[in-house]
Amino acid sequence: MAVLRSAARGNRALRWGDWIFAYLTLWIAPLLLGMLLSALAILWRAPFEASGAAVPAEKIIAAVLGGGVFLMMIPVFSWIGLIISFPVVWLVLRAGLGGWLSFALGGIAMALLASAMLGGMAPEIPIVFGVISAVALRWILHRRCPEAFVTA
């Protein structure tokens, strides 16, 4: 498990199906996770509201619901970061620099670029999701095609 390096010309080991699967997974996963969190919050509240009883842990349930709705909105904004990251990731893998730290730093760079392109939103949220997405992308690609990341 290399921090900065990967196989030289590792991009050649990956097929189009690997790229499409990884990027679609990264794009859709927050939506599915957000739907799950929102459904759990609503299902927790429903019996208490139906019976007219006070809902225990109301603030926690509201936070879970809000987090779920936030996650469901991520695909609306994340597509731009995913699109601009593809050629960068391809070049990084071609150069043999596809380590975990390389991907994390690339996630920060792509998040800042996407944030600037979307009108200069506060950079903290895109950076967190950029790093998570970049590391998840490397993990998915590594699971699909380990030989692209094996250093000599």
The rounded average pLDDT for each run of 10 residues, N- to C-terminus, in the chain (152 residues) is: 80 93 96 97 88 84 94 88 90 90 93 81 85 95 92 71
For 25, 86, 106, 118, the CA distances from 16, given in Å and listed in that order, are 14, 12, 21, 28
The separation between CA 94 and the C-alpha centre of its own chain, rounded to angstroms, equals: 22
The pTM assigned to this predicted structure is: 0.84
- For position 80, what pLDDT does the model report? 84
Tally of CB atoms within 10 A around 62? 13
- For position 34, what pLDDT does the model report? 97
Indicate the DSSP class of residue 98. -
- For position 120, what pLDDT does the model report? 66
d(CA 31, CA 8): 34
- For position 152, what pLDDT does the model report? 65
- For position 29, what pLDDT does the model report? 95
